């Protein structure tokens, strides 16, 4: 009995990266909304304390690591490359966001925040891929 072939490798590669990206963005947006709705963060566009910006950067870092780990885990081959491409995409988007929001007021955070957001994705990608390697390459879904 012959097995039904799976999706082409290029589609699985693209899907791994897209899944990791969507997880990072979705978790970040949902957490931002929850933080605003619970009153932890002030209304959008209002100034926040540095501590709250650090908190936002912290959960973005964790979500970045998780999304890159997921991309590496789902990748059909070369998990580090998949995670790093996701990290480079995050850096490019972070730089674009930094340029777009620079000097637009306190609602967009202190100047260090968008720089941190632009710099974080590469370390997140490396850590995510390293965790994938440390935890093994089993493809079994739990």
pLDDT, tens digit, 9 for 90 and up, residues 52-104 = 999 999 999 999 999 999 999 999 899 999 999 999 999 999 999 999 999 88
Q: Is residue 94 part of a domain?
A: yes
Q: Is residue 2 part of a domain?
A: no
Q: Is residue 17 part of a domain?
A: yes
- For residue 140, the model assigns a pLDDT of 44
Please count the other Cβ atoms lying within 10 Å of the Cβ belonging to residue 61: 17
Q: Give the SS3 label for residue 83.
A: helix
Q: Is residue 139 part of a domain?
A: no
Q: Is residue 140 part of a domain?
A: no
Would you place residue 4 in the very low, low, confident or very high pLDDT band (cuts 50, 70, 90)?
A: low
Q: Could you give the CA distance from residue 9 to residue 12 in angstroms, rounded to a whole number?
A: 5
Domain limits for position 37: 9-41+48-134
Q: Does this model's pTM top 0.85?
A: yes
Number of domains within the chain: 1
């Amino acid at each position: 009995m012959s097995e039904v072939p799976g999706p082409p490798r290029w589609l699985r590669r693209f899907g791994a990266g897209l899944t990791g990206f969507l997880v990072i963005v979705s978790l970040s947006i949902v957490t931002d909304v929850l933080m605003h709705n619970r009153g932890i963060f002030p209304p959008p566009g209002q100034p926040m304390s540095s501590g709250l910006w650090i908190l936002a950067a912290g959960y973005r870092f964790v979500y970045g690591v998780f999304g890159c780990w997921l991309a590496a885990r789902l990748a059909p081959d070369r998990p580090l490359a998949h995670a790093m491409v996701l990290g480079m995409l995050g850096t490019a988007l972070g730089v674009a966001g930094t340029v777009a929001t620079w000097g637009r007021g306190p609602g967009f955070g202190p100047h260090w925040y968008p720089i941190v957001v632009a710099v974080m994705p590469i370390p997140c990608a490396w850590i995510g891929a390293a965790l994938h390697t440390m935890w093994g390459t089993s493809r079994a879904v739990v």
